[in-house]
Amino acid sequence: MDTTVTLKVPWEAVRLFGEDAAVFGREMYEAAVVQWYDEGRISSGKGSELLGLPRAEFLELLSRHKVSPFQYSPEELAAEMNRS
């Protein structure tokens, strides 16, 4: 089930994306999903599902946003490095 959310933003913000409110809305939603992934709140599978993208395209989106596709805490990364 989809839900429509209305958000009031300055027109200047919309103009950053070519004065198309639909494009702006999509960009905001993509940025939110990428942020949720980066915070560890969702998996890459859930992110791709929310955006309706194949997982490979979601990983490319992460790259465009300079977000690592690997979700390791500093402790997990150190433990992994010590196993080598």
**pLDDT score at 24:** 92
Of 81, 21, 68, 15, nearest in space to 29 by CA: 21
Q: Which residue ranges make up each domain of the chain?
A: 11-83
**pLDDT score at 70:** 84
CB count in 10 Å sphere of residue 34: 20
Residue 84: is its pLDDT beyond 80? no
CA pair distance 3, 14, nearest whole angstrom: 21
The 10s digit of each residue's pLDDT in 20-64 is 888 899 999 999 999 999 999 999 999 999 999 999 999 999 999
Burial (CB < 10 A; 0-12, 13-18, 19+), residue 65, is middle
CA pair distance 19, 47, nearest whole angstrom: 26
**pLDDT score at 42:** 94
Instruction: Give, in order, the Cα–Cα distances in Å from 76 to each of 56, 83, 84.
Output: 24, 11, 13
